[in-house]
Amino acid sequence: MKKGTYSSWGMYPYYPQIAHDCMWRDELTTKLKGMVEIHGSTLAYGNGRSYGDSCFAHSDNVLSTRCLNKIILADWETGKIICESGITFEEIIDIALPKGWFLPVTPGTKFVTLGGAIANDIHGKNHHHKGTFGCHIKQFCLIRADQKELICSNQKNTSLFQATIGGLGLTGIIKWAEIQLIPVNSSEIESTAIRFDSLEEFFTISKELDTQYEYSATWIDCLAKNNSIGKGIYFAGNHTKKNTLEIKTKKNKTLPFTLPISAVNSLTLRAFNYLYFRKHKTGRKNILMPYDKFFYPLDGVLHWNRIYGKKGFQQYQCIIPEKNAYNGIKTILKLISDHKCGSFLAVLKRCGDIPSPGLLSFPMPGISLALDFPQNNKLVALFSKLDEIVRETQGRLYPAKDAHMTGSDFRLSYPSWEKVEALRDPALNSRFWKRVTD
Amino acid sequence: MKKIVILGAMSTIAIACTRLWANKECEFILIARNKDKLSQIADDLTARGSIVHIKTSDFSDYSKHETLSKECFEKVGNIDILLTAYGTLPDQIECEKNTDIALQEFHTNGLSVISLLNHFAMRMEKQDTVSGTISGTIAVISSVAGDRGRASNYLYGAAKSAVSTYCSGLRARLSRTGIHVLTIKPGFVDTQMTQHLTLPEKLTASPEQVAHDISGAITSKKDVLYTRWFWRYIMLIIVIIPNRIFKKMKF
Ligand SMILES: Cc1cc2nc3c(=O)[nH]c(=O)nc-3n(C[C@H](O)[C@H](O)[C@H](O)COP(=O)(O)OP(=O)(O)OC[C@H]3O[C@@H](n4cnc5c(N)ncnc54)[C@H](O)[C@@H]3O)c2cc1C
Ligand SMILES: NC(=O)c1ccc[n+]([C@@H]2O[C@H](COP(=O)([O-])OP(=O)(O)OC[C@H]3O[C@@H](n4cnc5c(N)ncnc54)[C@H](OP(=O)(O)O)[C@@H]3O)[C@@H](O)[C@H]2O)c1
């Protein structure tokens, strides 16, 4: 219900969004029509955990769904739940986990909404086993300004179902969705961490161990050079069979204000990476971890994005198809380490081959790399070099994280974009879409 | 299992309270005006594992209050928590020009609350509990606005003041029976009621924070709760400002 303006997680680019709340799901249609009359077009805004401009309305007036956070129906025997689209993953876990159910797929933060997770067809550490979030959606209800409500599923209104999963909020406002949760015995994860010294090793380890672990992701030191390029720590885990279904409530720390300038520079970064790498001894380490420490280590500090200062930051996330992955990632990492200012968090993840129903889904079989950069003018040159490699290796960038990709790169790497454009609700448009399709 | 009755169950603050309580199994009776919205809240709480009954009622109709309280006790046997959370924020200027509206607002925020509390208290002080001793909490959302009448909303303030004073007496009377009376005095809260106002961000609480404070005050059997806590000190100062200065202040 908070008034005022919204930004995105990266705080870049700067287009303050005026938020219009909707308190009750039955008021969505009227609200949408009213906004379109006044502002021409709008866009749903979940919890603003996208980094760039994909959650910005072209009119800068967004329809906020955060107050729509009720469960409509839950069957705790089968793990099927129907929720309003503004409910967050945190809220779902708090209710479902004590009853023995967990999300089928979760991103690296639990502060995303159900609607946002569908619109970006998010993937998690278990992409190689479970595919994207969209693979677990049974059905949803879509509101379009020009029509009545539509129920969409694999059987009904199929083309809208496929266009909406990963559809960047452009095909309608999702009112509610039904998801299939997965049964778990415990709120803890049996996890393992393996330190390794080069990119080659990453490829061997992930090939061998991804089959044994439901979840995996890898932190790498983006400042490492030469033979050490790609050194890092491989983290993997499975839900344990032990019976402990409790949720520990721990108070989150919060960064209360935005720093005037970025605290992330090559000096702090080098120190962090050195210490983080050293903290993990060589060889394998197995430990039992609470689920939130394993899945959401960053959520422990609320608003950590503020350490990047007022200028904000950009995330660069690309995926390179398996056949070109080694060379592609190696070249990219080399360019980044030469640039000297990567991020605390550089993550590699091998994605699997389970297809998503979504037309604009980001993952493909291959390796995804994500890293954050404090915003500055030098990024333009670096990103354009990186984009070239991604293009040559037939990879693509993730719209949920993007504030820079060119229209031609987008249209080349997401050939289905025209199908989505054809099904777009004319009342909805985003800054991102305008940027890449105009 | 706790048995909880909410008068004004669709209030934003009340919704936050019910969600917090629903973390443990509870049986709720939710009472409000709008049936559709009430059932949406009921479905949500049911999915969280609670037992929920709903009733529709407009509290400005006194004639229904006795039956309403009787029906609640018949449904759940005895009540662990009664929360009154409904209210309106009158347009002060309108109230100055139109006495009918002024009285209607006083009626909703003041008299009807007193009437309901009277009926429920009568039954709660006699309720049997399993342990043989009488227990339960009557939690009433009043407001810091009742601590001193301000030019900008003294009609609302007067009604809340009547409620706070009534609660103070009720508490004294019921203290001999084991029933706990909690007067809740929120400052600014970001709810449906204050949507149209621009509130100072630093002084404005979220409904969840307020719910957390209310729940804590019920457990610790506090008499009067200021929420957030700093309002106790703000009001301490506001109350002692001499009238010759106070009457010139523009708020
Ligand atoms: C720390 C962190 C870690 C992350 N890790 C991952 C990860 O591991 N994997 C991954 O895939 N992503 C990851 N992300 C990105 C994040 O999961 C996505 O950006 C997600 O979509 C954000 O959800 P949101 O609710 O905040 O949506 P917003 O950012 O507010 O909106 C995102 C999109 O959803 C649309 N939308 C929102 N609600 C609705 C609705 N009701 N109907 C229709 N459209 C709607 C919006 O229009 C917009 O296009 C991460 C983000 C952060 C901050
Ligand atoms: N928000 C603040 O800053 C603040 C500060 C101090 C005190 N308070 C008090 O906190 C309590 C809760 O308010 P809130 O902030 O949560 O606001 P809210 O969301 O607007 O809730 C008020 C509720 O009262 C209901 N209501 C009003 N008149 C009614 C009647 N005659 N019969 C039945 N229901 C009636 C309304 O129902 P409908 O939806 O049907 O209209 C509404 O659901 C109120 O007593 C308010 O005075 C609030």
Is the bond into B228 cis (omega within 30 degrees of 0)?
A: yes
Residue A155 identity (one-letter amino acid): Q
In-domain check, residue B227: yes
Contact A240/A188 with Cβ under 8 angstroms?
yes
Q: What residues make up the domain containing B135?
A: 2-246
In-domain check, residue B191: yes
Q: What is the pLDDT of residue A209?
A: 96
pTM score of the predicted model: 0.95
Contact A164/A174 with Cβ under 8 angstroms?
yes
**Residue whose pair of structure tokens reads 């957390």 in the numeric block:** B212
- Mapped onto helix, strand or coil, the DSSP state of residue A430 is strand
Quote the CA–CA distance of A8 and B223 in Å, as a whole number. 43
Q: What is the pLDDT of residues B176-227, one digit of tens each?
A: 899 999 999 999 999 999 988 999 989 999 999 999 999 999 999 999 999 9
Asked whether the predicted pLDDT for residue B128 surpasses 80, the reply is: no
Q: Please name which ligand lies nearest the alpha carbon of B187.
A: 2
Asked if B40's CB is within 8 angstroms of A72's CB, the reply is yes
Q: What value of ipTM does the predicted structure carry?
A: 0.91
In-domain check, residue B119: yes
Provide, rounded to the nearest whole percent, the portion of chain B with pLDDT above 90.
93
Q: Which ligand 1 atom sits nearest the alpha carbon of residue A88?
A: 25
In-domain check, residue B37: yes
Name the residue among A295, A98, A286 with its Cα closest to residue A185. Answer: A98
User: What's the token pair of residue A348?
Assistant: 């590699």
Q: What is the pLDDT of residue B156?
A: 97
Quote the CA–CA distance of B69 and B108 in Å, as a whole number. 17
Exposure on the CB side of residue A267, measured as CA atoms within 13 A? 2
Strands A253-254 vs A173-180: parallel, antiparallel or unpaired: unpaired
In-domain check, residue B128: yes
Chain A residues with CB-CB distance to B207 below 8 A = 1
CA distances from A402 to A112, B145, B208 (A): 17, 48, 33
Report residue B130's pLDDT band, with 50, 70 and 90 as the boundaries: low
Determine the distance in angstroms separating the CA of A38 from the nearest CA of chain B, rounded to an integer: 18
Q: What is the pLDDT of residues B51-84, one digit of tens each?
A: 999 999 999 999 999 999 999 999 999 999 999 9
In-domain check, residue B251: no
Quote the CA–CA distance of B11 and B144 in Å, as a whole number. 18
What's the CATH number where B34 sits? Answer: 3.40.50.720
Atom 48, ligand 1: residue with shortest CA distance = A55
Of B37, B43, B47, the CB nearest to A24: B37
Name the residue among B31, B139, B158, B37 with its Cα closest to residue B90. Answer: B158
- Mapped onto helix, strand or coil, the DSSP state of residue A99 is helix
- CA of A400 relative to ligand 1 center, distance in Å: 6
Beta strands in A116-249 (DSSP E): 137-143, 150-153, 173-180, 182-183, 188-196, 215-220, 232-239
Low-confidence ranges of chain A (pLDDT < 70): 1-3, 247-251, 342, 344
Q: What is the dihedral of CA B168, B170, B173, B179, to 10 degrees?
A: -110
Mutate to test the pocket of ligand 2, among B5, B10, B38 (most ligand atoms within 8 A of CB): B10
Q: What is the pLDDT of residues B78-116, one digit of tens each?
A: 999 999 999 999 999 999 999 999 999 999 999 999 999
Domain count, chain B: 1
Residues within 6 Å of ligand 1 by CB: A 9, 43-50, 54-55, 65, 85, 107-109, 112-113, 115-117, 119-120, 122-124, 168-169, 173-174, 298, 400, 430
Q: Count Cβ atoms below 10 Å from residue A248 Cβ, excluding itself.
A: 10
Of A4, A23, A73, the CB nearest to B47: A73
Q: Which ligand 2 atom sits nearest the alpha carbon of residue B156?
A: 47
Mutate to test the pocket of ligand 1, among A31, A42, A55 (most ligand atoms within 8 A of CB): A55
User: What's the token pair of residue A152?
Assistant: 């969409």
User: What's the token pair of residue A127?
Assistant: 């992409």
Chain B residues with CB-CB distance to A99 below 8 A = 49
Quote the CA–CA distance of B151 and B211 in Å, as a whole number. 29
